[in-house]
Amino acid sequence: MVQFLQQLINGLSIGSVYALMAVGYSLVYSIMNFSNFAHGGVIMLGAYFGFFSLTLLKLPFAAAFLLASVGTFFVAIIVERVAYKPLRERRAPFLYFIISAMGASILLENLVIATIGPTFRTYPEVFSKALIELGPLAVGRLDLIIFLISAVSLTLLILFIDKTKLGKAIQAASYNVKACALMGVNTDRVILTVFGLGGFLAGIAGVFFGMKYTVYPQIGNITTKSFIAAVFGGLGSLPGAVLGSVLLGVIETFVAGYLSSQFRDLIAFVILIAVLVLRPTGIMGKVTEDKA
């Protein structure tokens, strides 16, 4: 029983990291209908921004946190402008976007290696790493803080999309970009907002990832998992991305803990395929009309 609860805590903690990353994937997918693989690179930059704000600029945590998120906000927008906008204007098929995104991700990762260096760096201790012990169970203080801030920022995001005019425009565009443009919505602005929001969340995710684990140029690779989580939850749905992430984290943990750790990742891919085949729209995905 102790083992079971501890694994559940482990799974939730892993899932909450996936969630912050997965939301960025889903947000972009909901409007652009493609998987923005450059998102991992942006998260990685967020981790570095936060790290240097804390160590070089010696900023307090809240300021560093904000600076990192604002930094990735702009990086994400630049990526959109450089790598996607020309394709968008030409109405290129989605694969071109994916390839362009992969190019951007190769570029970002190696830019960091060439300029900052390949070594990994450790975040200074911002929060006490002391554990909260509940009997034989261990819960990381950092985990709890991450969980809370993630929950707050995701709630704010959902409120923003539900309540503001711009948010409504995003919702409308996610149903039908063309019709939306005809109704007089500035779709270019909507798309920029979506990328900016995704970038902002990438900054948060990057800083937390860095604090929890470490900072290194290949952080982007880990986001494949969060991408799977986004598909699992249903690409394009924000609550779906969160739910998918938490479920994937917990399932993975239980597979590793009770079946075999060799199969931890294999199971993740099996789930991915099973979901695609049985319910391609994921748990809560938006249903798109088959245009084929």
Partner 1 sequence: MKKLLFAALAVALVLAGCGGGGKSDVVKVGWLGALTGDQAVWGENELNTVKMLFEEYNAAGGIEVGGKKYQLEVIGYDNKGDPQESVNVTKRLTGQDKVVAIIGPNSSGNAIPMAPILEKAKVPDIATVATNPKVTVQDGKVKPYNFRVCFIDPYQGAVAAGFAYDRLNARTAAILYDVGDDYSQGLREFFKVNFEKKGGTIVADESFNSGDVDFRPQLSKIKAANPDVIFMPYFFKEVALSANQARDLGIKATLLGGDGWPSDQLISMGGKAVEGSYFVNHLDYADPAVQDFKTRYKAKYGKETELNGFLAHDAVLLFVEGLKKAGKPNGEAIAKALEGIDIQGITGRIHISPETHNPEGKDAAIEKIVNGQYVFQEKYAAQ
Partner 2 sequence: MDWTYIQGILMLAGINMIAVLGLSLLTGFTGLFSFGHAGFMAIGAYVGAWISASPASTPAGLGLPFILAIVGGGAAAGAVSYLIGRISLNLKGDYFCIATLGFGEAIRLIFNNVNRFGGARGWPGVPGKSTFVAILVADVVAVLFLANLVKSRHGRNMIAVREEELAAQIAGIDVFKYKMISLIISAVYAGVAGVFFAHYMTFIQPKMFSLTKSTELTIIVIFGGLGSISGSVLGALVLTALPEVLRAFEIWRLVFYGAAVILIMVSRPKGLMGGMELTPSGIRKVVAERNALREAKAKLLAEAQSGEED
Q: Which residues bind partner 1 (CB under 8 A)?
A: 3, 6-7, 10-11, 13-14, 17, 110, 113-114, 118-120, 122, 129, 131, 136, 138, 140, 213-214, 216-218, 221-222, 252-254, 256-257, 261-262, 264-265
C-alpha distances in Å from residue 8, one per residue of 92, 212, 254, 283: 44, 18, 8, 21
Give the footprint of partner 2 on this chain (CB under 8 A): 33-35, 82-83, 86-87, 90, 92, 94-96, 98-100, 102-111, 113-114, 224, 228, 231, 262, 265-266, 269-270, 272-273, 276-277, 280, 290, 292
Dist. CA 264–CA 227, nearest whole Å? 16
Q: How far is the CB of 257 from partner 2 (least distance, A)?
A: 18
Q: Minimal CA–CA distance to 254: which of 2, 19, 22, 3?
A: 3
Q: How far is the CB of 236 from partner 1 (least distance, A)?
A: 27
Q: Which is nearer to partner 1, 155 or 221 (CB)?
A: 221
DSSP-derived 3-state class of residue 213: coil
Q: Which does 99 bind (CB under 5 to 8 A by kind): partner 1, partner 2, none?
A: partner 2
Provide the phi-psi class of 122: left if phi over 0, else alpha when psi is between -120 and 50, else beta.
Answer: beta
Q: Look up residue 38 and give its two tokens.
A: 């450059």
* Per-residue H/E/C for 106-134: HHHHHHHHHHCCCCCECCCCCCCCCEEEE
Q: Which is nearer to partner 1, 11 or 46 (CB)?
A: 11
Dist. CA 142–CA 10, nearest whole Å? 13
Q: Which is nearer to partner 2, 41 or 140 (CB)?
A: 41
Q: How far is the CB of 64 from partner 2 (least distance, A)?
A: 27
194-211 as b/e: b if 16+ CB within 10 A: bbbbbbbbbbbbbbbbbb
Q: Which is nearer to partner 2, 110 or 164 (CB)?
A: 110
Q: Which is nearer to partner 2, 100 or 237 (CB)?
A: 100
